């Protein structure tokens, strides 16, 4: 399977087309085909092939838009790796791509599994989930920037979570204790109750909520009078987590973009997974149920292998998207320190249009070539990786 | 829904929308009437500038230019101006008259796209020290439209409430720190001063303390005690919470933080006056000089200036010179001064009665004007690397303020990156 | 299956009872599971749609950064609607738009709290000379209400003792309500808005007024009102009307947001047209014909979507800058920079393009599912290739063309990178996403998020409406290979 789920080299149509005037016919076909393809091929040639070739050529020159280009050999590629800004861009891009791809693929699959129920209203919810993905990156980034302000929604929710921490923790503890107690009791009665039994969970949840409320009213737990959290999400150079080695630390503004990116991409991926999950025969799960497989066992043994082709597609799209992340960096702009969020794509743009100096077209082209090769390598490697897993 | 209906509906809507839009588009692109006056495009900053320019054209120089058959279009660039200037110069789409900021002047002029002004217009009425920044190999490429320095703006309400005296010309850092602490004690959300993690502001203190920078080459010793001491004091106050980084108040710059009314002091130029007039019209403020270093007893400052230059690809050289002269005419500069944007570059205007007035805007402008000769003043120029010089230093300040690195570590790293940038 | 105890084995009655038991137990579980699934779905919906919804509601507020964030929005309070409409009618006889017209007399009340031991002096009320916002619209000359307004003397209409919370502690004191009117003196133009500022002494506290104050300045001493005669419309969708009113071209004075919207529609329409016509042609050729180089074209399709736009934009930028081999002279210009044609014609790689590789792919996939019989029948009837394509093939391709239209429209509407490169100056040549970035830069500095959010929400509306109506095609698009831009 390739990226689009078809084989490129298969015969079109499907009917063997040999007739008595086959030679003439095939010539006709050639001409018609190229006439139909002409507009597409012309734009592809000018805006894709020619431009890629020209960027490749520029990457070996010192072109600056004003003076004529001079051949400098590999100098641009070598000097890239001496530039701290490029190294930072490379580091940011790799961290961003790996973390975001992993998290969003996993979450999308988990969410799809939860939603994989034959129930009414699924179409409505699916549509609702998709809404954040259809708005432009600018709209979503502006809304997130607003939420990331010092006294914005995200710090507010964080503040409230911290203030209510004792209550929340008590509630969670109660639910766990109740659930465990119920499951043990049901098993004693001879029912095959699971640790995550839904009916019992509803009871645990309700009783836990009432218990917590009671404890709150009785004053056993209370809201802590903590000051508002004033975490700086944007204009900061702090890198997290502090205990990690330097090359694994992620700048906070980049974390902000990661959260936003995961948020907007999950729905699309979830819908792709959902389509694949609904194609798994229910008999698979029923057979597993009879053998007494647990929920995680079913997830890892049945669900994940069944959706492997979709996983390939999702991971490939995600890698391409994340390695080329540009919009968010440009929109955050001067609200964040450049080196905290700069990615390879933005580095290319930045060298093409630097503010303080002459444009460095050669350097920009070299970085662009590097990015293109990185993208293709990533897709290739994951393809080999996921394929070999399947065999 | 029937797919045929869907397509028909969609195409119908799109066609109707586009027909209207294209019709509008064509009307706008029509050739100008030959009887129309020559249009000279001027490209400059966004922000407050469009308002001042429109006002200038409408009330001061518009009629004069119209009489010569010249119309002026001001194109404000809201994006990074320097990028846009390089971009448009290389593309041949740059305006006839362009702003040339002092920090990028060497690079811009080196492109060979700017017309030398010698012989085209009289350069003598302008302050020589300002023209100098735009003179290369004996040719002058720009006329400073105005200049600016930093002043200390203080919020009178907060000083009154804290019961401390307003700062003045002789205030030292130590005295200032006491006042800041008193103001900081007023409440959780009140801070003594806005200290951005930027050399653009901290530099003025460093210069006061005796730090030296070679603005021709950008070379500097960041481990010089004059700088290290300044950084320790400056960042220490932020770490203690007495001063605040504007970003930590959700503001993009010191002026924005000052405009909230919760910050005692900010260090900005005359551009702050226009901002406050729009965004915080009721704020009661005063202005004085950058405080003196307790070690040297001196004050320090940056000199910011922007020039008008002429794009040598222009089709209307004469008209462009006329526009440049009108924009820097005594009437225009006086108008800009009183609009609160910047200080005139014409020598004769420095004698203006305006500077003797005692309203807060005039006091601020006088302070900022005199700041140019008050203590250790450096031009806002960093050799050929331009404002890229600032990145390593700003990164160091930021890391120190958030406790990521010690003063020593951060400055050492900044020095390494700076050397790499300067190609040493 | 319930596990039977040893002594129950072989007892049919016990077995039957256990069976019935377990059926009920399983049913209970199923219902519980459905309940939980619905709850989880609602939770996901809140998490995913919540931010946009909350942003949309907050965009109505004067200050969307109000802390703590609250959904008690004065702009959504019907009592304030009535007041705003009344004030609008008093100001300009227009309950919806409001304003300030000759002969107007706007009545207004202010309530202050004076703690025990302070002297209850009335606040100082004035109509300030203030321009609406700064930035993109600031260049226009406007009329100021201050030049025509006269504030009448303040009259005490109510005085009441009571308690009020000051800095977290309750204090005794007296509430005083003042009444006054703002009159239009003489004759003059209709002014859009009437700002008002009430300055009190330190220690006196603003409590309430006819309409709530827009903000408190100088540590609570100044209660500042952006407009005391807003009318219903200007009050409720204040920030939305500002999007259109305040951001204007400095040269023509026209609304920038309208220009950006028009540009976005233009580019999107042009791209839809080129993709529908040319991508379907290309897709058809690849699906139906065998020709030399077919394999290479597959590679082209694949790579064009994988190679980053940052690779191709360098050369494409220069091509557009230099007018695309002289093509620009046909349009009477030397360059395609800062022109919508530059955006429409050029552009390739993984970004949207005049003929998008992804759309070619969608069409190819579709044509491969179509049976050949009808085409062959048409061929036997003597229809030529082109005729056959237009008369027979395209009408059958409606569902796929629908997907191409929708996906291209959405992709182009949202496209950011290429317009950012081509469209820089003046402001009115931009498309909506690039224009919104200008909003962010100009109004973000002043922390004016109301206007930014309103602009963002407005710009997202067309695609959201499109999505709600043509949802099916979006889902199809994802199924065809996820060409989300």
Contact A84 B404 (CB under 8 A): no
Q: Does residue B192 contact residue B179 with C-beta atoms inside 8 Å? A: yes
pLDDT given for residue B276 in this prediction: 86
Comparing A143-157, B13-27, C4-18, the range with the smallest average pLDDT is: B13-27
Contact C416 A137 (CB under 8 A): yes
Distance from CA of B317 to the nearest CA of A (A): 22
Tell me, yes or no, if C122 comes closer than 8 A to chain B by beta carbon. Answer: no
pLDDT given for residue A271 in this prediction: 84
What homologous superfamily does CATH list for C256-479?
MetI-like (1.10.3720.10)
Contact B247 A238 (CB under 8 A): no
Q: Which one of A84, A227, A356 has the shortest CB-CB distance to B420?
A: A84
Nearest alpha carbon to residue B49 among A171, C139, C164, A26: C139
Domain ranges of chain A: 78-164+223-390
CATH number among 3.30.70.260, 3.40.190.10, 3.10.20.600, 3.40.47.10, domain B38-148+304-356: 3.40.190.10
Distance from CA of B169 to the nearest CA of C (A): 25
H helices of C293-339, in order, are: 294-306, 309-321, 323-326
H helices of C59-196, in order, are: 78-92
Q: Which one of B87, B111, B417 has the shortest CB-CB distance to A84?
A: B417
Chains that touch B (3 or more CB pairs under 8 A): A, C
Percent helix, strand, coil in chain B (nearest 5)?
50, 20, 30
pLDDT tens figures, A248-281: 999 999 999 999 999 999 988 888 898 888 888 8
Residues 306-335 of C with CB under 8 A from B: 321, 331-332, 334-335
Exposure of C41 in the CB half-sphere (CA atoms within 13 A): 22
Tell me, yes or no, if C265 comes closer than 8 A to chain B by beta carbon. Answer: yes
H helices of C59-93, in order, are: 78-92
Burial class of residue A275, CB neighbours in 10 A (0-12, 13-18, 19+): middle
Mean pLDDT of A165-181: 95
DSSP calls for C146-169: GGTEEEPPPEEEEEEEEEEEETTE
Chain A residues with a Cβ under 8 Å from any Cβ in chain B = 65-66, 82, 84, 149-152, 227, 230, 232, 234-239, 334-335, 337-339, 353-359
Residue C239 confidence (pLDDT) above 50? yes
Residue A165 confidence (pLDDT) above 80? yes
Comparing A55-59, A109-113, C252-256, the range with the smallest average pLDDT is: C252-256
Q: How many CB atoms lie within 10 A of CB C64?
A: 26
H helices of C153-255, in order, are: 231-236, 238-245
CA distances from C481 to A4, B155, C10, C48 (A): 6, 59, 58, 23
Query: Phi/psi at C120 (nearest 5 deg)?
Result: -70, 80
Q: Who has greater pLDDT, A196 or B195?
A: B195
Distance from CA of B263 to the nearest CA of A (A): 16
Residue C361 confidence (pLDDT) above 70? yes
| Token pair listed for C19 | 């069976």
pLDDT given for residue C23 in this prediction: 84
Pairing, β C196-199 against β C124-126: antiparallel
Mean pLDDT of A242-253: 89
Q: What is the band of C11 on the pLDDT scale with cuts at 50, 70, 90?
A: low
Q: Does residue A138 contact residue C456 with C-beta atoms inside 8 Å? A: yes
Q: Who has greater pLDDT, B50 or C65?
A: C65
Nearest CA in chain C to A155: C68
Q: Which one of C197, C332, C335 has the shortest CB-CB distance to B92?
A: C335
pLDDT given for residue A141 in this prediction: 96
Q: Does residue A353 contact residue B83 with C-beta atoms inside 8 Å? A: yes
pLDDT given for residue C134 in this prediction: 56
Tell me, yes or no, if B78 comes closer than 8 A to chain A by beta carbon. Answer: no
For residue A359, list chain B residues with Cβ-Cβ distance below 8 A: 86-87, 90
pLDDT tens figures, C301-335: 888 888 888 899 999 998 988 888 888 888 888 78
Tell me, yes or no, if C470 comes closer than 8 A to chain B by beta carbon. Answer: yes
Tell me, yes or no, if C327 comes closer than 8 A to chain A by beta carbon. Answer: no
ipTM (interface predicted TM): 0.89
pLDDT by 10s per residue, chain B, length 424: 444 454 444 444 444 444 444 433 333 333 333 456 889 999 998 766 777 788 888 888 888 898 888 999 888 886 678 888 887 888 777 899 999 999 888 888 888 899 999 989 888 888 877 887 788 888 999 999 888 899 999 999 999 999 999 999 999 999 999 999 999 999 888 999 999 999 999 999 999 999 999 877 889 999 999 999 999 999 999 999 999 998 888 788 899 999 989 999 999 998 888 788 777 888 999 999 999 999 999 999 998 999 999 999 899 999 999 999 999 999 888 887 776 666 888 888 878 888 888 888 888 888 888 888 788 988 898 877 888 899 899 999 998 998 888 999 999 999 998 988 887 6
Strand partners, B285: B155
Tell me, yes or no, if B87 comes closer than 8 A to chain A by beta carbon. Answer: yes
CB contacts < 8 A (A, B): 79
Tell me, yes or no, if B400 comes closer than 8 A to chain A by beta carbon. Answer: no
pLDDT tens figures, A68-95: 899 999 999 999 998 888 999 999 999 9
DSSP calls for B142-170: -EEEEEE--EEEEEHHHHHHHT-PPP-TT
pLDDT given for residue B2 in this prediction: 47
Contact B48 C138 (CB under 8 A): yes
**Which position has the token pair 């008008």?**
B308
Q: Which one of B82, B113, B395 has the shortest CB-CB distance to A337?
A: B395
Q: Which of C60, C314, C438 is the best substitution to test chain A (most A C-beta atoms within 10 A)?
A: C314
CA-CA distance, C404 to C363, in Å (whole number)?
A: 8
Nearest alpha carbon to residue A143 among C457, C256, C415: C457
**What dihedral angle (degrees, nearest 10) is formed by the CA atoms of A201, A206, A211, A212?**
90
Portion of chain C with pLDDT greater than 90, in percent? 34
Nearest CA in chain B to A355: B83
Contact B3 C402 (CB under 8 A): yes
Nearest alpha carbon to residue A344 among C309, B413, C412: C309
Contact C346 A368 (CB under 8 A): no
Residue A192 confidence (pLDDT) above 90? no
**Neighbouring residues of A290: CB distance < 8 A, sequence distance ≥ 6:** none
Name which CATH class applies to A78-164+223-390: mainly alpha
Distance from CA of B124 to the nearest CA of C (A): 32
Residues 92-111 of C with CB under 8 A from A: none
CA-CA distance, C206 to C214, in Å (whole number)?
A: 12
CA-CA distance, C251 to C28, in Å (whole number)?
A: 71
Nearest CA in chain A to B198: A337
Query: Phi/psi at C379 (nearest 5 deg)?
Result: -65, -40
Q: Does residue C89 contact residue C138 with C-beta atoms inside 8 Å? A: no
Q: Who has greater pLDDT, A71 or C166?
A: A71
Distance from CA of A207 to the nearest CA of B (A): 41
For residue B384, list chain A residues with Cβ-Cβ distance below 8 A: 357
Distance from CA of C73 to the nearest CA of A (A): 15
| Token pair listed for C362 | 């969608």
pLDDT given for residue C479 in this prediction: 60
Q: Which one of C133, C270, C401 has the shortest CB-CB distance to B7?
A: C401
* Cis bond before residue C68 (omega within 30° of 0): yes
Q: Which one of A151, A152, A337 has the shortest CB-CB distance to B398?
A: A337
Nearest CA in chain A to B386: A356
Ranges of CATH 3.40.190.10 domains, chain B: 38-148+304-356, 151-298+385-422
CA-CA distance, A30 to C234, in Å (whole number)?
A: 64
CA distances from B246 to A252, B200, B243, B287, C431 (A): 17, 14, 9, 19, 31
Exposure of C18 in the CB half-sphere (CA atoms within 13 A): 17
**What dihedral angle (degrees, nearest 10) is formed by the CA atoms of B57, B59, B60, B61?**
40
**Mean pLDDT, chain C, as a whole number?**
85
For residue B80, list chain A residues with Cβ-Cβ distance below 8 A: 355
Q: What is the band of A103 on the pLDDT scale with cuts at 50, 70, 90?
A: very high
Domain ranges of chain C: 6-56, 77-231, 256-479
**Neighbouring residues of B157: CB distance < 8 A, sequence distance ≥ 6:** B261, B283, B284, C202, C218, C219, C221
User: Could you give the 3-state DSSP secondary structure of residue B114?
Assistant: strand
Nearest CA in chain B to C219: B261
Q: Does residue C231 contact residue C85 with C-beta atoms inside 8 Å? A: yes
Q: Which one of B250, B387, B420 has the shortest CB-CB distance to A356?
A: B387
Q: Which one of C217, C269, C338 has the shortest CB-CB distance to B261?
A: C217
| Angle (CA) B132 B364 C147, round 5° | 120
| Angle (CA) C219 C225 C231, round 5° | 160
Residue C269 confidence (pLDDT) above 70? yes
CATH 3.40.1400.10 holds for B151-298+385-422:
no
Q: How many CB atoms lie within 10 A of CB C457?
A: 24
CB contacts < 8 A (B, C): 148
pLDDT given for residue B177 in this prediction: 95
DSSP calls for B32-81: PPTTSPEEEEEEEE-TTHHHHHHHHIIIIIHHHHHHTTEEEEEEEE-S-H
Residues 354-413 of C with CB under 8 A from B: 398-399, 401-402, 405-406, 409
Nearest alpha carbon to residue A355 among B417, C417, B385, C427: B385
Highest mean pLDDT among B14-28, C31-45, C452-466: C452-466
| Angle (CA) B38 B40 B43, round 5° | 165
pLDDT given for residue B1 in this prediction: 42
Contact B6 C402 (CB under 8 A): yes
pLDDT given for residue A8 in this prediction: 38
**Neighbouring residues of A44: CB distance < 8 A, sequence distance ≥ 6:** C300, C304, C348, C355, C357
| Token pair listed for B403 | 């406790």
Tell me, yes or no, if B394 comes closer than 8 A to chain A by beta carbon. Answer: yes
CA distances from C338 to A12, C333, C427 (A): 43, 11, 10
CA distances from B253 to B234, B249, B337, B422, C136 (A): 16, 10, 23, 28, 19
pLDDT given for residue B53 in this prediction: 82
């Amino acid at each position: 399977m390739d990226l689009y789920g078809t084989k490129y080299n298969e015969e079109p149509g499907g009917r063997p087309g040999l007739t008595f005037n086959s030679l003439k016919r095939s010539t006709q076909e050639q001409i018609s085909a190229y006439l139909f393809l002409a507009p597409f091929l012309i734009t592809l040639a000018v805006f894709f092939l020619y431009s890629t070739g020209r960027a490749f050529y520029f990457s070996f020159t010192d072109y600056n838009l004003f003076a004529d280009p001079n051949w400098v050999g590999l100098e641009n590629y070598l000097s890239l790796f001496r530039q701290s800004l490029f190294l930072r861009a490379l580091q940011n891009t790799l961290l961003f791509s790996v973390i975001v791809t992993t998290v969003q693929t996993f979450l999308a699959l988990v969410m799809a599994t939860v939603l994989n129920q034959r129930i009414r209203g699924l179409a409505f919810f699916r549509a609702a989930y998709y809404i954040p993905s259809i708005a432009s990156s600018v709209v979503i980034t502006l809304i997130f920037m607003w939420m990331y302000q010092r006294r914005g929604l995200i710090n507010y929710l964080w503040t409230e979570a911290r203030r209510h921490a004792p209550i929340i923790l008590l509630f969670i503890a109660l639910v766990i204790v109740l659930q465990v107690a119920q499951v043990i009791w049901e098993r004693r009665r001879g029912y095959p109750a699971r640790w995550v039994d839904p009916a019992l969970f509803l009871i645990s949840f309700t009783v836990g909520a009432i218990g917590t409320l009671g404890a709150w009213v009785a004053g056993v737990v209370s809201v802590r009078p903590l000051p508002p959290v004033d975490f700086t999400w944007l204009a900061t150079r702090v890198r997290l987590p502090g205990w990690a080695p330097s090359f694994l630390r992620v700048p906070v503004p980049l974390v902000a973009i990661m959260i936003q990116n995961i948020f907007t991409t999950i729905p699309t991926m979830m819908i792709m997974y959902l389509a694949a999950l609904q194609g798994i025969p229910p008999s698979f799960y029923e057979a597993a149920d009879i053998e007494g497989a647990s929920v995680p066992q079913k997830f890892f043994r049945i669900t994940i292998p069944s959706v492997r082709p979709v996983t390939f597609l999702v991971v490939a799209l995600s890698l391409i998207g994340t390695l080329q992340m540009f919009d968010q960096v440009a929109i955050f702009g001067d609200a964040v320190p450049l080196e905290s969020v700069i990615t390879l794509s933005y580095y290319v743009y930045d060298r093409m249009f630097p503010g303080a100096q002459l444009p460095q077209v050669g350097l920009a082209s070299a970085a662009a070539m590097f990015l293109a090769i990185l993208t293709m390598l990533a897709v290739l490697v994951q393809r080999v990786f996921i394929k070999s897993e399947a065999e | 829904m029937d797919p045929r209906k869907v397509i028909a509906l969609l195409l119908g809507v799109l066609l109707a929308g586009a027909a209207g839009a294209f019709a509008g588009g064509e009307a706008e692109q029509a050739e100008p009437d030959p009887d129309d006056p020559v249009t000279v495009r001027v490209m400059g900053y966004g922000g407050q500038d469009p308002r001042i320019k429109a006002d200038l054209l409408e009330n001061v120089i518009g009629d004069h230019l119209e009489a010569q058959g010249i119309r002026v279009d001001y194109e404000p660039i809201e994006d990074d101006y320097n990028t846009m200037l390089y971009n448009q110069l290389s593309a041949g789409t740059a305006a006839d008259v362009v702003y040339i900021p002092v920090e990028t002047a060497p690079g811009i002029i080196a492109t060979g796209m700017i017309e030398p002004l010698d012989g085209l217009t009289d350069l003598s009425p302008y302050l020589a020290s300002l023209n100098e920044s735009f003179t290369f190999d004996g040719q002058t490429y720009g006329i400073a439209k105005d200049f600016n320095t930093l002043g200390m703006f203080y919020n009178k309400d907060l000083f009154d409430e804290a019961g401390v005296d307003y700062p003045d010309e002789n205030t030292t850092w130590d005295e200032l720190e006491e006042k800041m602490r008193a103001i900081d004690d007023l409440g959780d959300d009140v801070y003594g001063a806005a200290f951005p993690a930027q050399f653009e502001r901290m530099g003025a203190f460093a210069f006061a303390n005796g730090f030296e920078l070679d603005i021709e080459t950008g070379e500097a010793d960041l481990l010089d005690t004059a700088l290290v001491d300044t950084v320790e004091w400056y960042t220490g106050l932020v770490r203690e919470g007495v001063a605040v980084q504007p970003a930590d108040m959700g503001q993009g710059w010191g002026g924005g933080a000052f405009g909230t009314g919760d910050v005692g002091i900010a260090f900005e130029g005359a551009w702050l006056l226009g901002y406050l007039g729009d965004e915080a019209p009721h704020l009661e403020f005063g202005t004085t000089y950058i405080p003196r270093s307790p070690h040297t007893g001196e004050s320090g400052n940056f000199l910011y200036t922007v020039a008008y230059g002429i794009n040598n690809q222009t089709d209307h050289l004469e008209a462009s010179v006329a526009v440049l002269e009108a924009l820097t005419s005594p009437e225009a500069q006086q108008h800009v001064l009183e609009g609160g944007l910047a200080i005139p570059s014409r020598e004769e205007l420095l004698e203006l009665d305006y500077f003797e007035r005692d309203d807060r805007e005039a006091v601020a402008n006088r302070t900022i004007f005199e700041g140019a000769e008050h203590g250790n003043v450096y031009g806002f120029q960093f050799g050929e690397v331009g404002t890229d010089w600032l990145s390593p230093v700003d990164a160091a300040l930021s890391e120190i303020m958030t406790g990521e690195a010690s003063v020593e570590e951060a400055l050492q790293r900044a020095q390494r990156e700076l050397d790499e940038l300067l190609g040493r | 299956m319930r596990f039977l105890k040893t002594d129950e084995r072989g007892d049919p009655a016990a077995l039957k009872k256990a069976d019935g038991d377990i059926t009920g137990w399983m049913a209970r579980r199923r219902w519980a599971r459905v309940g939980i699934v619905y709850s989880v779905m609602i939770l996901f919906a809140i998490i995913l749609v919540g931010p946009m919804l909350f942003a949309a509601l907050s965009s109505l507020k004067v200050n969307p950064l109000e802390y703590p964030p609250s959904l008690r929005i004065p702009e959504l309070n019907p009592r304030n609607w009535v007041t705003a409409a009344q004030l609008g009618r008093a100001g300009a006889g227009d309950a919806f738009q409001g304003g300030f017209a000759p002969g107007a007399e706007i009545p207004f009340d202010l309530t202050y709290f004076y703690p025990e031991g302070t002297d209850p002096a009335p606040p100082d009320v004035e109509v300030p000379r203030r321009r609406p916002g700064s930035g993109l619209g600031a260049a226009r000359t406007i009329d100021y209400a201050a030049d025509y307004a006269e504030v009448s003397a303040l009259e005490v209409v109510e005085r009441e003792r009571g308690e009020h919370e000051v800095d977290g502690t309750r204090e005794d004191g007296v509430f005083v309500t003042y009444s006054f009117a703002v009159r239009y003196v003489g004759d003059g133009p209709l002014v859009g808005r009437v700002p008002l500022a009430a300055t009190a002494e330190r220690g006196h506290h603003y409590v309430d007024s006819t309409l709530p104050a827009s903000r408190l300045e100088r540590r609570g001493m100044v209660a500042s009102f952006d407009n005391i005669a807003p009318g219903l419309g200007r009050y409720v969708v204040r920030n939305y009307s500002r999007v259109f009113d305040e951001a204007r071209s400095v040269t023509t004075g026209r609304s920038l947001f309208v220009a950006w919207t028009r540009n976005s529609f233009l580019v999107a329409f042009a791209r839809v047209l080129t993709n529908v016509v040319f991508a379907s042609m290309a897709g058809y050729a690849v699906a139906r014909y065998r020709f030399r180089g077919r394999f290479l074209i597959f590679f082209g399709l694949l790579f064009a979507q994988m190679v980053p736009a940052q690779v191709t934009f360098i050369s494409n930028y220069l091509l557009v800058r230099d007018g695309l081999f002289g093509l620009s002279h046909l349009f009477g210009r030397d360059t395609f920079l800062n022109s919508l044609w530059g955006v429409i014609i050029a552009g390739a790689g993984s970004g949207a393009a005049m003929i998008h590789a992804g759309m070619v792919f969608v069409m190819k996939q579709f044509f491969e599912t179509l049976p050949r019989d009808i085409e062959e029948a048409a061929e036997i009837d003597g229809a030529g290739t082109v005729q056959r394509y237009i008369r027979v093939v395209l009408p059958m391709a409606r569902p796929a063309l629908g997907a191409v239209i929708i996906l291209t429209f959405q992709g182009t509407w949202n496209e950011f990178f290429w317009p950012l490169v081509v469209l820089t100056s003046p402001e009115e040549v931009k498309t909506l996403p690039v224009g919104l970035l200008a909003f962010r830069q100009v109004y973000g500095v002043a922390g004016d998020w109301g206007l930014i959010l309103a602009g963002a929400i407005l710009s997202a509306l067309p695609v959201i409406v499109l999505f709600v109506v043509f949802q099916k095609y979006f889902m199809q698009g994802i199924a065809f290979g996820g060409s989300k831009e």
